Amino acid sequence: MIEIICDGGDDKGENANSVNSTGIRRPKNIKQIGDVSSGKQIYIEDYAFTYINSIAYNCRSQKQAGVLLGELQNDGEERCVFIKGVVKARLIDGNHEICFDENVWNGIYTDVEKYFPNLQIVGWFVVMPQVTELDMRKLKKIHLDQFSGNMKVLYLVDAAEKEENFYLYDKDELRRQKGYVCFYERNCEMQEYMLERKVKKSSEENNNDKVMESIRNVIHEKEEVRHQKRSNSFTYGFTALMVTAVLVTTINLMNNYQKMQKFDQSIKKLTAQMSGDESDVEQAGTEEGVVSVNKLAGDVYPTEKQAETTEAATEKETREAHTEPVSPEASNVAKTPAYSEYSVQQGDSIMSICKRHYGSIDRYEEVLALNQLEDPNMLYVGEIIKLP
């Protein structure tokens, strides 16, 4: 948990940010993405990160923008920006050029004062259907005009290429950063913003209404889904254990029945030989594993060779008794399911799991459907996720 006292907000990015110089206090629960070894590091809270990517990939055809809110810290030459809040700008038309005019800033400041009164503007974000070189030049001009200053960042999402990158202004250029850190903490302000944010009902913003409704439902039902998933995991494990036990018992019974039949048949044939019935003796001599006998003076004596055969047969049966064949039912147990399983780690979301496992988020919807998840980002450590 980061506890920083803010000295004040920023006015349209024209004033320098206040920076805490008493040492950097980093959060404990983090997930590093890319290389963050430079002296300028970017931290973004998970709720803020999830909100930006949700509106980006649910409204890919629209241009969207807003401001990033948080705090700055430094320790000597090392500087860190901590992004803890996001306010989406009310642009007139998402298909036209992005513009931070007076009306847009008035709407932003109203939301900042209501939801994030203790945070300052530390940068901005932009979502575009596709980013060209011309777009980058326009973004650079907006950054210099509206967000110049100490450690102001730009978070740019290219919806067509599915790329998300942070930029810092350095040496007259917006330079893409090699990596950043996502951290996790109780962010009540961002949750309240996502719940109470009212999106205007218009043909351009219908998709945003669906996003906000989905977020609202997920947060309200968080505890119920958590309890249900734990119950389902216990039921699944108990059922699998019972099925395995039944299969093993069935296999053992079948093997024991076959061995008893074979042993009973051998006893009957040996008894027939000892009783002197010639027809039974001839029939027994053709059966594998039955010892023929010689009859001398009414007594039965096996020959030396026959005794060796009997001993060999006994050893063979002993080996077979210790070697249980695998039945078709048992082989079915070992079949590999049509999906792999992944145990959720601290800081995971469905989107980050897809990106790490498949290299992209193309199968994002498929993973959601397979696991019957309503919230792609409300996961719990140790939860088992099926990956097709």
pLDDT, one tens digit per residue, over 131-142 is 999 999 999 999
Q: Residue 202 above 50 pLDDT? A: no
Q: Which residue has the higher pLDDT, 143 or 332?
A: 143
Classified as helix, coil or strand, 284 is helix
Mean pLDDT of the region 73-87: 89
Q: What domains are there in the chain, each with its CATH number?
A: 30-220 (3.40.140.10), 235-333 (no CATH), 336-387 (3.10.350.10)
The pLDDT score that the predictor gives to residue 49 is 93
Most confident of 173-182, 255-264, 335-344: 173-182
Distances (CA, A) of 332 to 236, 243, 246, 386: 18, 12, 13, 20
Question: What gap in Å lies between CA 52 and CA 47, rounded to an integer?
Answer: 9
Considering only CA atoms, which of 27, 65, 192, 20 is closest in space to residue 116? Answer: 192
Considering only CA atoms, which of 86, 383, 68, 374 is closest in space to residue 215? Answer: 374
Q: Average pLDDT of the chain?
A: 76
The pLDDT score that the predictor gives to residue 304 is 55
Q: Residue 359 above 80 pLDDT? A: yes
User: Measured over all CA atoms, what is the biggest interatomic distance in the chain, rounded to whole angstroms?
Assistant: 125
Mean pLDDT of the region 351-355: 85
Confidence of residue 14 (pLDDT cuts 50, 70, 90): very low
Q: Which residue has the higher pLDDT, 361 or 136?
A: 136
| Orientation of helix 46-58 relative to helix 188-196, angle to 10° | 30
Q: Which residue has the higher pLDDT, 158 or 13?
A: 158
Least-confidence region, from 40-44, 45-49, 318-322: 318-322
The pLDDT score that the predictor gives to residue 301 is 47
Mean pLDDT of the region 58-72: 89
Query: Which residue type does 189 have?
Result: E
Sheet of 153-158: strands edge to edge? 30-34, 179-183, 40-45, 78-88, 64-75, 120-128, 153-158, 163-170, 173-176
- Dump pLDDT digits (tens) for 265-322: 777 777 777 766 555 545 545 544 444 444 444 444 455 555 566 566 666 665 655 5
Q: Residue 367 above 80 pLDDT? A: yes
- Dump pLDDT digits (tens) for 162-186: 899 999 998 888 999 999 999 998 8
Question: What gap in Å lies between CA 319 and CA 272, rounded to an integer?
Answer: 26
The pLDDT score that the predictor gives to residue 270 is 75
Mean pLDDT of the region 121-144: 92
Q: Residue 245 above 80 pLDDT? A: yes
